[in-house]
Amino acid sequence: MRIAFITPTRNRPAHLDRMLQSLAAQSRQPSQVIVIDAGDASKFDATRQPDGLPVEYVRWTEAPTSALQRNAGIAQLRDDIDLVCFFDDDQELHPDAVEKMLQFWESASADIVAASFNEATYEDRRTLFWRRLGLGALLGLYSRKPGRVARSGWHSLYGKVDRNTECEWLSSKALVVRRNLLNTYQFDPFFEGYSYLEDLEFTYGLSRHGRLMIVADALFDHHQPPRGADFNWHDFGRTEVRNRLYFVRKHGLSVPRCYLGLLIRLGMTLGEALFKLDRNARRRAAGNAEELTAKHAKNAKED
């Protein structure tokens, strides 16, 4: 089977170089590698790409957005590609990861439509007490099982697995999809800019076509850099409300339960702002509140 890698990137040449080096070191290399660069100025030196690695470099001149950059990569796929991997630039594959992934697909049943590499460096970053105490599960807002999507539209995280594991959604940071599905099914252009929840929407939709799996022995490391000082927490607060509600409505989930979850999320963020004196949490909460108020006003007007 032939696999292609699609990587959106922006102003992170060192991360991209490390990622490409990890592809070049694979025991079974990909058949095609497509880099979609939305950088302010091109910092990718094509002459420095690893020898023998079939890298195709595409400049993205529109507003940066990982969802649409991935769609642009799909348009560049060769006709002979069987599998497509969406892989972020701040990650590094273990040397046999592609081989393990291809071995999985070569024996996979026809009802499996997507699979994820297994994040070896995963750390559980969950902080909300209503998740830990089971309040979310009790209210039908959150599943205690990893990789599930509740009726509220809130998804439970999954970490490193020790055996192949089926999920209802998968992250798009290391996602492999059957090529034929991408002829008609791509990332929703609604998710602009900081494409928050675009992976949830994309893969939950894929789950309507077949099963989603995490491949335990196909490992990668995630070297996620911290958010910079220029990250706009207020805009993110608005985005997480807007995108969550869009996902819930698009897939026919429970809007009232989603609002309840959003209000709990807002309350916890306010708690961080007040008790930890966290200015970023305060800005995020303000964004949450503004978007919730705007949505309520819009709904009241429509009613």
Strand partners, 85: 5, 176
How crowded is the C-beta side of 164, counted as CA atoms within 13 Å?
14
- Is the residue at 131 inside a domain? no
Same-domain pairing of 277 and 218: no
- Is the residue at 137 inside a domain? no
- Is the residue at 130 inside a domain? no
Same-domain pairing of 188 and 72: yes
Q: What is the pLDDT of residues 212-264, one digit of tens each?
A: 999 999 999 999 888 877 899 999 999 999 999 999 999 999 999 999 999 98
188 within 8 A of 197, measured Cβ to Cβ = no
Same-domain pairing of 163 and 104: yes
Same-domain pairing of 293 and 197: no
Walk along the chain (303 residues) and give the pLDDT tens digit of each residue: 999 999 999 888 889 999 999 999 999 999 999 999 988 765 555 556 777 899 999 999 888 899 999 999 999 999 999 999 999 999 999 999 999 999 999 999 999 999 999 999 887 555 444 455 466 666 778 888 899 999 999 999 998 999 999 999 999 999 999 999 999 999 999 998 878 999 999 999 999 999 999 999 999 999 988 887 789 999 999 999 999 999 999 999 999 999 999 998 899 899 989 988 899 999 999 999 999 999 766 765 564
Same-domain pairing of 41 and 74: yes
- Is the residue at 92 inside a domain? yes
Q: Structural domain of residue 244, as residue ranges?
A: 233-302
Same-domain pairing of 217 and 238: no
Q: Which two tokens stand for residue 132?
A: 């830990």
Query: d(Cα 175, Cα 124) in Å, to the nearest integer?
Result: 20
For the domain that residue 191 is a member of, what is the CATH number?
3.90.550.10
193, 222, 251: which is the final residue of a domain?
A: 222
Query: d(Cα 228, Cα 298) in Å, to the nearest integer?
Result: 33
Same-domain pairing of 72 and 198: yes
- Is the residue at 283 inside a domain? yes
Same-domain pairing of 107 and 79: yes
Same-domain pairing of 168 and 285: no
222, 256, 277: which is the final residue of a domain?
A: 222
Same-domain pairing of 249 and 217: no
Q: What pTM value is reported for the model? A: 0.91
169, 190, 222: which is the final residue of a domain?
A: 222
- Is the residue at 255 inside a domain? yes
Same-domain pairing of 88 and 7: yes
Same-domain pairing of 259 and 210: no
Count of domains for the chain: 2
| C-alpha distances out from residue 138 to 82, 132, 133, 152, 164, Å | 42, 11, 9, 12, 28
